[in-house]
A and B are shown apart, each in its own frame.
Chain A
Amino acid sequence: MTIEVKNLVKKFGSFKALDGVDLKVDDGELLALLGPSGSGKTTLLRIIAGLDWPDSGEVSFNGEDALAQGARERHVGFVFQHYALFRHMSVFENVAFGLRVQPRAVRKDEATIRARVKELLDLVQLDWLADRYPSQLSGGQRQRIALARALAIEPRILLLDEPFGALDAKVRKELRKWLRSLHHEINVTSIFVTHDQEEALEVANRVVVMDKGRIEQIGSPDDVYETPATAFVHGFIGESIELPVHVEGDVVRLGDRPLALKAEGLASGASKLFVRRHDMLVGPPGSGAFEGAVQHVRNFGPVQRAEVALSGGQTIEIDAPRDRELRAGDTVGLAPRRFRIFAG
């Protein structure tokens, strides 16, 4: 099932949750919507599911207009951040719900329903919990049951809203791997919303980065990390050093100090320079574009994180390998191995 979204706009009062969003999702894809809270990613997901309606724009599944249908007819599996399991039903009945509410004409007989639920509980590896109630399960178990319940209706599309957001870090990591392998197995077109970049980069085939109701970049996890399209994406994904610079022709200035960096094909004016923390190479004073005094050093496993006060006055944090120990008070030269400059 392909999904196509065209020029979607949704306002809540004066707040623009979606401000002209265009998106194409290919059949069988596992797509991540990544962005800070308030970026509109959940709103987009809910509109695709039919749980919310846009003010304008189009949504189509396989070319047919989805907005003409309600949530009930769209045949979309939706997994909620807080599970939304039916608290008065056993796990078994929760998973069976979608099969039991089908119109009489297409409803399967009891034996078929039982077999299907059993199969789904096996799929999420929780068949031994069939008789329990949601309140007796752990968060991770609840979310897997919620997923089994959504899959019961054989959805054309699977939508997951911050599926692991309410779980602790360890369970989250396990479920991520599990979700990816599950998607590989069932191969349903899936979109999941997350504010956790690691989750998006690890699980998804493609990542859509959103901010303020707009799509900033669509690309593979490598694309959005290695070649961020906008200043926002560079700042949001990965840990970046951000410095205000001024571009004049091919000269880049930090304050009034020209930097030994080449600015090619950039418009003159105020700009932002982005460097990944680990792309800042440390050398003797005078060896790089920047110079500064080490203020403070902490060790994190393989790297040392140093706070460096640049001669221009800004303080930045860099990650350096531990082959050469840094000490507070050292004066160092810093050379960005890779950097990007964005206007604005």
Chain B
Amino acid sequence: MTMQIADNVSLSSPDAKSRAHAAAARNNLRTEPRAVRLVIITLAIAFLSVFVVLPLVVVFAQALSKGILAYFAALAEPEALAAIKLTLVVAAISVSLNLVFGLVAAWAVAKFEFPGKTFLITLIDLPFSVSPVISGLVFVLLFGAQGYFGGWLRDHDIQILFAVPGIALATTFVTFPFVARALIPLMQEQGTQEEEAATSLGASGLQTFFRVTLPNIKWGVLYGVLLCNARAMGEFGAVSVVSGHIRGETNTMPLLVEILYNEYQFVAAFAIASLLAMLALITLIAKTILERHLDEGQDVNDH
């Protein structure tokens, strides 16, 4: 491009010059000058470094600031172990619930026509658009001592708020859209013909689901489960409202990080935080691999 402009300019007739300018202007519309490109790329990288890479490095640096022994000692504290265990339990409950709900919702939306379908799709997205704190408060309103079911629950001696069920419920609510969102477009694109073929070949509903539907959407399911799990383990706002912060009992990892930090126990706080950061990194890698599989699936469909 630059060569061409130089050649034209060397002709030096005014006509040729103006033409060269016009050509350069046209080219500039399509390709930015090198300097501009460099600035944009540098800006993007600098931004990512400061806001993403740096905090990640700081988390690990802080966690290890008193040495590796202090790091492991902090993780071996009973309070820390309880938080890790609770987080895993809550994630297991909410991911399995959302796997079932998400599959059912995606199935309903993708394979059937029914009135109120658009409304259902909007509802599925609700947990994404509402602040997690409000999601938590809803459960307090429902199950708290003053709440709608509070009296009944107290009479029957069932503890939901400030206990595992409450935390699991809030987390499930907040992470509901992940599986459904991953599956709806995939299942819509695949349509119902393979299921119809299976039925006409004599397969029962369950056989059709396990032999035809599920294998077709397995990468999508894994993708949804992965994101759902990452969010479930990292959820703070909604859980904070319903947890009651009982030490060693209802503190999940994100909650414990905050408590420890406020108590100036930096090594312990960042040690737990580093576990969450590692979860994020593993999730990222797994996500990249899954996305590749999903794309391959797409290619196969295109034939």
Using a CB–CB cutoff of 8 Å, the interface residues on chain A facing chain B are 49-51, 70-72, 74-78, 80, 82, 84-88, 97-98, 101-102, 133-135, 146, 149-150, 152-153
A78, A134, A150 pick with most chain B CB within 10 angstroms: A78
Q: Which residue of A lies closest to B197 (CB)?
A: A84
Neighbour of A101 across the interface among B198, B299, B301, B303, CB < 8 A: B198
> Which residues from chain B contact A74 at a C-beta distance below 8 Å?
200
> Which residues from chain A contact B203 at a C-beta distance below 8 Å?
72, 97-98, 101
Task: Count how many chain B residues have C-beta atoms less than 8 Å from C-beta atoms of the other chain.
Answer: 20
Contact B212 A86 (CB under 8 A): yes
CB within 8 Å of A: which B244-289 residues = none
CA distance A77 to B201 in the complex (A): 7
Contact A51 B196 (CB under 8 A): yes
Taken residue by residue from 200 to 213, chain B's Cβ proximity to chain A (1 for < 8 Å, 0 otherwise) reads as 11111001000110
Contact A153 B216 (CB under 8 A): no
Smallest Cβ distance from B75 to chain A, in angstroms? 42
Q: A97-B211, A101-B207, A101-B211 are in contact. Are A84 and B194 (CB under 8 A)?
A: yes
The 9 closest A-B CB pairs, nearest first, are: A98-B201, A84-B193, A101-B203, A135-B300, A84-B197, A78-B200, A88-B215, A71-B199, A135-B303
Neighbour of B194 across the interface among A70, A86, A101, A150, CB < 8 A: A86
Contact A71 B200 (CB under 8 A): yes
Interface of B is mostly: helix
Contact A72 B196 (CB under 8 A): no
CA distance A102 to B303 in the complex (A): 30
Q: Which residue of A lies closest to B301 (CB)?
A: A87
> Which residues from chain B contact A149 at a C-beta distance below 8 Å?
197, 201
> Which residues from chain A contact B201 at a C-beta distance below 8 Å?
97-98, 101, 149-150, 152-153
Can you list 18 pairs linking A and B with CB atoms under 8 Å apart?
Answer: A50-B200, A51-B199, A51-B200, A71-B200, A72-B202, A72-B203, A77-B200, A80-B193, A84-B193, A86-B194, A86-B212, A86-B215, A87-B216, A97-B201, A98-B201, A101-B211, A102-B202, A153-B201
> Which residues from chain B contact A87 at a C-beta distance below 8 Å?
194, 216, 300-301
> Which residues from chain B contact A72 at a C-beta distance below 8 Å?
199-200, 202-204
> Which residues from chain A contact B299 at a C-beta distance below 8 Å?
135
Q: A82-B193, A87-B300 are in contact. Are A76 and B207 (CB under 8 A)?
A: no
CA distance A256 to B172 in the complex (A): 80
Contact A153 B194 (CB under 8 A): no
CA distance A256 to B290 in the complex (A): 75
> Which residues from chain B contact A85 at a C-beta distance below 8 Å?
194, 197
Q: A87-B300, A135-B300 are in contact. Are A76 and B200 (CB under 8 A)?
A: yes
CA distance A71 to B203 in the complex (A): 10
A-B contact count (CB 8 A): 71
> Which residues from chain A contact B199 at a C-beta distance below 8 Å?
51, 70-72
Contact B216 A88 (CB under 8 A): yes
CA distance A29 to B97 in the complex (A): 52
Smallest Cβ distance from B106 to chain A, in angstroms? 18
CA distance A71 to B303 in the complex (A): 28
Given contacts A77-B200, A149-B197, 16 further A-B contacts (CB under 8 A): A50-B200, A72-B199, A72-B200, A72-B203, A72-B204, A85-B197, A86-B194, A86-B215, A88-B216, A97-B203, A98-B203, A101-B203, A135-B303, A146-B197, A152-B201, A153-B202
B198, B201, B211 pick with most chain A CB within 10 angstroms: B201
CA distance A150 to B194 in the complex (A): 13
CA distance A298 to B199 in the complex (A): 52
Smallest Cβ distance from A50 to chain B, in angstroms? 7
> Which residues from chain B contact A76 at a C-beta distance below 8 Å?
200
CA distance A145 to B212 in the complex (A): 17
Q: Which residue of A lies closest to B190 (CB)?
A: A87
CA distance A50 to B194 in the complex (A): 15
Contact B198 A97 (CB under 8 A): yes
> Which residues from chain A contact B204 at a C-beta distance below 8 Å?
72, 101
Smallest Cβ distance from B69 to chain A, in angstroms? 50
Smallest Cβ distance from A234 to chain B, in angstroms? 35
Q: A97-B211, A135-B303 are in contact. Are A75 and B197 (CB under 8 A)?
A: no
CA distance A71 to B212 in the complex (A): 17
CA distance A98 to B196 in the complex (A): 12
CA distance A134 to B301 in the complex (A): 10
> Which residues from chain A contact B202 at a C-beta distance below 8 Å?
72, 75, 98, 101-102, 153
Contact B196 A71 (CB under 8 A): yes
Q: Which residue of A lies closest to B193 (CB)?
A: A84
Smallest Cβ distance from B280 to chain A, in angstroms? 31
Contact B196 A78 (CB under 8 A): yes
> Which residues from chain B contact A146 at a C-beta distance below 8 Å?
197
Q: Which residue of B lies closest to A97 (CB)?
A: B201
Smallest Cβ distance from A305 to chain B, in angstroms? 39
> Which residues from chain A contact B193 at a C-beta distance below 8 Å?
80, 82, 84
Smallest Cβ distance from B114 to chain A, in angstroms? 13
